[in-house]
Amino acid sequence: MASTNAPSDIPSFEGLSEGDIIAEIKRTPTRDRVLRFLGATWMWSGQFLNAEAAAKIGLAGPIVPGPMKHAFLQQYLNRWLQGAGEIRRLQISHRRPDLQDAEVTLGGSVTRLYEQDGDKLAELEIYIDNAEGERSVRGSATIVFT
């Protein structure tokens, strides 16, 4: 049975097994947070700003920018690692939009552990699920442990 690493547990290469689950966390990308992200990145586009523009392209409301969801996953992994390793690669695929002010769940699991060129590496499957439990982002990451 796969173990679950609690957020307070600092992971180590030796302490992980393939199939281990990384504890899920909840995030709510509020409108205010999205607007601050848009201001910092200059991503001013209608589908992120107002319901009318979002509706014109078939969306139920203003959505969370993809790069913001990417940043959520990067923060999620860094929080899990607590300095015990670094993200070497983070790749994601957006499957469906996430609406602002709706809670999402971030999670992941260990899919492979190996050593290469003296590095201790972990391959992870990561994801974001929307409030309905639908997978909105699928991805993978490579972690190098220090």
Please determine, for residue 126, whether its predicted confidence score (pLDDT) is greater than 60.
Answer: yes
- For position 8, what pLDDT does the model report? 52
Q: For residue 70, what are its two tokens? A: 């990417």
pLDDT band, very low/low/confident/very high, at 1 (cuts 50, 70, 90)? very low
Average pLDDT of the residues in 11-31? 96
| pTM, full prediction | 0.91
Strands (E), the chain: 4-5, 21-27, 85-94, 104-116, 119-129, 135-145
- For position 46, what pLDDT does the model report? 87
Please determine, for residue 10, whether its predicted confidence score (pLDDT) is greater than 60.
Answer: yes
pLDDT digits (tens, 9 = 90+) for 111-124: 999 999 999 999 99
Please determine, for residue 4, whether its predicted confidence score (pLDDT) is greater than 80.
Answer: no
Residue 131 — φ and ψ, nearest 5°? Answer: -65, -25
Q: Which fold has domain 4-29+63-145?
A: Thiol Ester Dehydrase; Chain A (3.10.129)
Tally helices (H) and strands (E) across the chain: 4, 6
Give the C-alpha distances (Å, rounded to integers) separating 96 from 65, 93, 132, 133, 137: 11, 9, 12, 12, 7
Give the C-alpha distances (Å, rounded to integers) separating 15 from 77, 84, 145: 17, 12, 11
Mean pLDDT of the chain: 93
Please determine, for residue 132, whether its predicted confidence score (pLDDT) is greater than 50.
Answer: yes
Please determine, for residue 5, whether its predicted confidence score (pLDDT) is greater than 70.
Answer: no
